[in-house]
A and B are shown apart, each in its own frame.
Chain A
């Protein structure tokens, strides 16, 4: 094994990693925000809100991400009438898919806030929206931080799936370099190592926080 192949192609590989991070950040922000919305809505007592949101969440949780990616890749050109960059299509898929996992975390977090604490807010005359914004969500998010970090690691791992529709992210670039260089051991080991370092850092962080916030 000689790792010169890595150094020779480091620019390419790094650009792939850049795209991976770009997907990750966009997907993370989008799915987190959508997840908060869905999580809050899922606690609604109105059936017209509760059921559609619940069905959406349960459906997404039951199907593979890869199918969602293919689905949007095929669907977007049909509804927009023009071809979409595969990166955009991938990011949309990630947002729509990962949001439901964040939603479940948010729901759990909100439910973990003591009922009397919420009443304390209401009893001073705060509105539902104010109680949600100033009391429940800050509390809930603090309780949820370890799960959020863990889920973020999953999102990061999942970005590799953008490979299947040809997004030039890290894994796709690695395979492309391999096609040219035919050095699969070094290249895939390197890819595995990079993902490993980033994801274990995230996992470590999650564990630290779990200890700190009493998990």
Chain B
């Protein structure tokens, strides 16, 4: 082992501690915003795939395939470097003059993260729909429930039960994926840890510090979602059975 003296204080010393805190804040903002948009888009796309029209289905399927099968990093670069070039000259001019580069990269990151995650959420939602045994519909209708009731009391609770756990996973995943925003210069946690490296040459400590931060975020998010899960589906389901 080379003689390397650890200096863990780079994690909290002024100004580095402040940087990390700022990074955490941006990581959380970015992730929650993107997750909200992704959930909205994902459920819509999944519903579109359930419609009878062939072409609607095809478009929705193409959406999912596209955003799922291209690495997030490539999508980020595409939206950041290439997409503005597709705009007319005047619009591009306006964009670059009126919007701060940091703001631009922040929103690009949100858009990319949302699109990427929405395709994955759409897949989960769809398998939630399709995991319902046909017999459930038959059984529910045979007891004389109307369509609305069948959905309200049988199908939707069932779907939610299947849908919530992967949703939790995606929520944890989006925090991790948001780290890629650093490549556009978004000053989130990972970016800050590497900035500390370039200022102090104690990047290993900063990197490990950032790992611990993500670990704590993951633990809290899973804990929170575990609570939500219990709250959301167990009462409904146990009564149902």
- Measured CB to CB, the residues of A under 8 A from B are 59, 61-68, 70-71, 74-75, 77-81, 153, 157-158, 160-161, 163-164, 171, 175, 178, 184-185, 187-189, 191-192, 195-196, 199-200, 203
Q: Tell me whether B47 is interfacial, beta carbon within 8 Å.
A: no
Q: Tell me whether B65 is interfacial, beta carbon within 8 Å.
A: yes
Least CB distance, A94 to chain B, in whole angstroms: 13
Q: Mark B14-48, 1 if CB is under 8 A from A, else 0.
A: 00000000000000000000000000000000000
Q: Which residue of A has the minimal Cβ distance to B219?
A: A62
Apart from A67-B211, A157-B70, A188-B78: 18 A-B pairs, beta carbons within 8 A: A63-B214, A63-B215, A65-B176, A67-B179, A70-B190, A78-B1, A80-B2, A81-B2, A153-B69, A163-B73, A171-B74, A185-B82, A185-B86, A188-B81, A188-B82, A195-B71, A195-B74, A203-B69
Q: How far is the CA of A64 from the CA of B72 in the complex (A)?
A: 13
Specify which of A59, A74, A164 is in contact with B215 (CB 8 Å cutoff).
Answer: A59
Set of chain B residues within 8 Å of A80, measured between Cβ atoms: 2
A62 touches B215 (CB 8 A): yes
Q: Most chain-B CB neighbours within 10 Å: which of A68, A163, A184?
A: A184
A64 touches B179 (CB 8 A): yes
B214 touches A171 (CB 8 A): no
* Complex interface residues of chain B between 169 and 183 (CB less than 8 A to chain A): 172, 176-177, 179-180, 182-183
A-B contact pairs, 26 of them (CB 8 A): A62-B172, A62-B218, A64-B190, A66-B179, A66-B190, A70-B190, A70-B197, A70-B203, A70-B207, A71-B207, A77-B2, A78-B2, A78-B204, A81-B2, A157-B69, A157-B70, A175-B77, A187-B82, A188-B77, A191-B74, A191-B77, A192-B74, A195-B71, A196-B65, A200-B69, A203-B69
Set of chain A residues within 8 Å of B57, measured between Cβ atoms: none
Q: Mark B204-215, 1 if CB is under 8 A from A, else 0.
A: 100110110011
Q: Which residue of B has the minimal Cβ distance to A202?
A: B69
Q: Most chain-A CB neighbours within 10 Å: which of B66, B70, B74?
A: B74
Set of chain B residues within 8 Å of A178, measured between Cβ atoms: 81
A74 touches B172 (CB 8 A): no
Set of chain B residues within 8 Å of A200, measured between Cβ atoms: 65, 69
Q: How far is the CA of A200 from the CA of B172 in the complex (A)?
A: 24
A189 touches B179 (CB 8 A): no
Interface residues on B, range: 35 or more
Q: How far is the CA of A71 from the CA of B207 in the complex (A)?
A: 6
Q: Most chain-B CB neighbours within 10 Å: which of A63, A74, A77, A157?
A: A63
Q: How far is the CA of A163 from the CA of B77 in the complex (A)?
A: 12
Q: Tell me whether B7 is interfacial, beta carbon within 8 Å.
A: no
Q: Which residue of B has the minimal Cβ distance to A74?
A: B204
Q: Which residue of B has the minimal Cβ distance to A164?
A: B183
B78 touches A196 (CB 8 A): no
Set of chain A residues within 8 Å of B85, measured between Cβ atoms: 184-185
Set of chain B residues within 8 Å of A74, measured between Cβ atoms: 197, 203-204, 207
B207 touches A203 (CB 8 A): no
Least CB distance, B109 to chain A, in whole angstroms: 13
A71 touches B69 (CB 8 A): no
A78 touches B4 (CB 8 A): yes
Q: How far is the CA of A191 from the CA of B69 in the complex (A)?
A: 12
Least CB distance, A153 to chain B, in whole angstroms: 7
